[in-house]
Structure 1
Amino acid sequence: MDDIPHPPPAESAVAGTVGAAMLLIFDGKGGVVRKEPTEHKPAVPARGFIVVSGKSKEPAFKVWLKGELGSFNADLLTVPSTRSRCIVLDDRAMVVMRVARPGAEPDDIGRQLMTLWIEKGRVIISSELNIPEFLGITHWEQSHHAPVSPADLVARLGLRAADRLEPLIEMLGDKLDDIEESLIVQHTTKAQARLSHLRRTLISFRRLVWPQRDMLNTLEIEDLSFFSTRDRLRLREASARAARIGDELQAMSERAVLVHEQIIDARAEQMNKTMLILAAVTVVFMPLTLLTGALGMNVAGIPFSDNPHAFWSVCVGLLMISLGIVWWMRGKRWL
């Protein structure tokens, strides 16, 4: 029985950061220190803030969240969401972001959820992401260029999320280029299937990017007391980056529509050529059918019925008529 793990006591969870996976202390001047979670509440620097991060599915972290924020707010941070959004509660905000997994393919971007609780002097991150790798903590520790405020941290997270999307969008652009090149050699059947798949992928990307932009815009305009003018400028920069990606996706979607119209035009042109050939064949054989039908009537008086060379003479005549019709249609530029 003694080997069974027990959750940390409520008073310890409330007092410190027991149950969290990582504790970061930002001094507000570009410096950051990584510490192990303790039972004692960490001191917040005068100009800085702290970041407490944990796995959203970890039971110990859920216990800490409930003791720190209450059951309702804790559930908001740990329940999966389908869209990026921003919710303001008094002088605090909850931000939901969706991030593409590293190394993901455009066809399956593998979105991951990251939820942030933002208040004066503290940010709580609940996610299954590798937060140290995503934030680039090691680089911040060496360069002394870490975020100086909670809003600055959110803005940088938005920019990093955009950084993961941009290579995937370039790959989508390359795929669209390949489809356009395939149209040059008239591979319309394969191009149609590939274009349909690409358009579905673009829709999925737009569902990821546009809510992210709206979330950053909402956080920027909200009247949070601990947001400075610089913070709002940083959030506006991250929002503009998401908007540029959204505009690029929109332009790519419009380009895909034009490629779709090209495919339709190519198919229509191919169908017109086919119908033209069938019409030409009909025009050529219609008089031949009339003549052969007349000569094939089983009645008396058929010309050349007793001539042994009549069959070949008629065949030569039909051939001359066919060539004459073809020559006439080419002269009319119908062929």
Structure 2
Amino acid sequence: MDVKADSTYPTGLIHAIQLDGQGGLIPCDEGINKIWQEREKTVWLHFDYSVATTVDWITEHSGLNEIAIDGLTSENSRPHILKRKNNVVANFRAINLNPESDPEDMVSLRIWTDGTRILSTRRRPLISTKEVLESLERGEGPQTVPELLINWLDAITAKQESSLSRLEDHALELEEADFTSSNNDYREQVSQLRKVCIKLRRHLSPQKETLNQLATSNLEWLNELDSLKIKALLDRQLRCLENIEMLREHSILMMDELNAIDAETLNRRTYVFTIIAGLFLPLGFFTGLLGINVGGMPGTENPFAFWMVTALCVLFGAGSVGWALAKRWL
């Protein structure tokens, strides 16, 4: 439920809703300043922080301190969590599933909440946000802010798992491929897989610590069941990181196999050239000896001398090849 362009809301506001406590939502038809100040209402404001009016509204009307405002609007997207009493500012990262985007080009999500109200910001759209909002529109969504936060993180983690599953399928196809074929760019594909894994691991590794801190934060609005759900998300995040590391190791092994195939091919070709050079070395010496320009060379007066030398060379070459075959050099 996006905010209409002709509304009086800040241009950076994406949606403003209230949770009805039954899994649905109530659109915020009145001014968001008034609704936000009513602390007992379960309000979710979602902004695009790259719009200047977003920073202005958060600074002037949210009532948050400078640290929280900076956490919601700065370009620093490293996952982390800051806690003050029952207020939490958290940054999370999600795999970019927007069209024509690379999965490793992460989408950052910034959240402030006190357990009743939630204010979130982003720069690029996040599919997980859309799914949570659609569940609320169907009346099947979260009933409280803690449940909203957990469902949101669950959707983000599910997208990670889905993306990694596709990467695993691609890695399996590469493992079963015939690397000796020269018709496919296997080296480039394996190299790209390794780069993706390195980027994903670098971007997602801090998120496990963020989830761990959230699960053990002892916030009053997070009950024991909520903490267990967050710990379950942490376990899934750890499995995602383990799968990323496994894929990276597989890509290294596949690259080693490609290098071994290239080295074997080069050695085989070098060996053949060496054998050929060894076979022709005596012939080269023999023809060079007959080509010296000194007196007394035998056969200079015999009209059949050239053909006799040619026959000797052919016989010697055939004998050398036969000897190499007998020694199993060829």
Report what 1:23 is aligned to. Answer: 16
Q: Does 1:113 align with 2:108?
A: yes
- Map of 1:224 onto structure 2: 219
- Do the aligned partners of residues 199 and 137 (structure 1) sit closer, same or farther apart at CA in structure 2, a change above 3 Å counting? same
Q: 2:95, 2:107 within 8 Å by CA — same for their partners in 1? A: yes
Query: Contact 1:209 / 1:246 at 8 angstroms: preserved in 2?
Result: yes
| Number of corresponding residues | 317
Q: Distance in 2 between matches of 1:261 and 1:230?
A: 47
**Contact 2:191/2:251 (<8 A) preserved:** no
Deviation at 1:118, TM superposition (A): 2.1
Give the corresponding residue for 2:4: none
When residues 261 and 106 of structure 1 are mapped into structure 2, their CA distance, relative to the original with a 3 A threshold, is: farther
Instruction: State which of 236, 243, 250 in structure 2 corresponds to 1:248.
Output: 243
Q: CA deviation at 1:125?
A: 0.9
* Aligned residues: CA RMSD: 3.1
1-structure distance, mates of 2:262, 2:11: 65
Letter in 2 for 1:40: K
Q: Which residue of 1 aligns with 2:27?
A: 34
SS in 2 for 1:98: strand
Contact 2:35 2:43 in 1 (8 A): no
* Aligned counterpart, 1:321: 316
**Is the Cα–Cα contact under 8 Å of residues 18 and 26 in structure 2 kept in the other structure?**
yes
SS of residue matched to 2:50: coil
Matching residue's letter, 2:318: L
Report whether the alignment pairs 1:169 with 2:169: no
Q: What residue number does 1:98 align with?
A: 93
State the alpha-carbon separation in 2 of the partners of residues 323 and 177 from structure 1.
49
1:4 aligns to what?
none
Pairing 1:158–2:118 present: no
Find the residue that maps to 1:136 and give its secondary structure: helix
Contact 1:159 1:241 in 2 (8 A): no
What is the CA deviation profile of residues 237-262 of structure 1, one whole-angstrom value per residue up to 9, with x for unaligned ones?
A: 22222222222211111110011101
State the 1:208 CA deviation: 2.8
Structure 2 residue runs without a partner (length 5+): 1-7
Contact 1:195 1:260 (8 Å CA) reproduced: yes
Alignment of 1:36-55 (within 5 A): 36-38=29-31, 39-41=33-35, 49-55=42-48
- Give the distance between the partners of 2:96 and 2:107, measured in 1 at CA: 6
2:56 counterpart of 1:63: yes
Q: Which amino acid aligns with 2:268?
A: K
How do 1:302-321 residues align onto structure 2 when only pairs under 5 Å count?
Answer: 302-321=297-316
**Matched residue of 1:224: which SS?**
coil
Alpha-carbon distance in structure 1 between the residues aligned to 2:16 and 2:125: 14
TM alignment of 1:66-85, pairs within 5 A: 66=59, 67=61, 68-85=63-80
Tell me the distance in 1 between the aligned counterparts of 2:139 and 2:145.
19
Letter in 2 for 1:323: A
The offset of 1:286, in angstroms, is 1.0
Matching residue of 1:204: 199
Q: 1:178 to 1:285 in 2, by over 3 A?
A: same
Indicate conservation of the 8 Å contact 2:299/2:305, yes or no: yes
Residue 114 of structure 1 aligns to a residue in which SS?
strand
Other-structure match for 2:123 = 128
Letter in 2 for 1:299: V
Task: Tell me if the contact between 1:98 and 1:113 (Cα under 8 Å) persists in the aligned partners.
Answer: yes
Relative to structure 1, the CA distance from residue 186 to residue 106 in structure 2 (aligned partners, 3 Å threshold; closer, same or farther) is farther
Q: State the TM-score, normalizing by the size of structure 1.
A: 0.82
Q: In the aligned structure 2, how far is the partner of 1:61 from the partner of 1:293?
A: 88
Secondary structure at 1:103 match in 2 = coil
Matched, 1:140 2:136: yes
How many angstroms does 1:223 deviate by? Answer: 2.2
Distance in 1 between the 2:115 and 2:24 partners? 18
Moved more, 190-199 or 282-291: 190-199
SS in 1 for 2:179: helix
Structure 1 residue 198, shift from structure 2 partner: 2.8
The yes-or-no answer on 1:278 pairing with 2:265 is no
Aligned to 1:88: 83
Q: CA deviation at 1:287?
A: 0.9
SS of match in other structure, 1:57: coil
Check the 8 A contact 2:115/2:146 in 1, yes or no: no
In the other structure, the counterpart of 1:183 is 179
What code does the residue aligned with 1:274 have? R
Letter in 2 for 1:329: A
> What SS does the aligned partner of 1:81 have?
coil
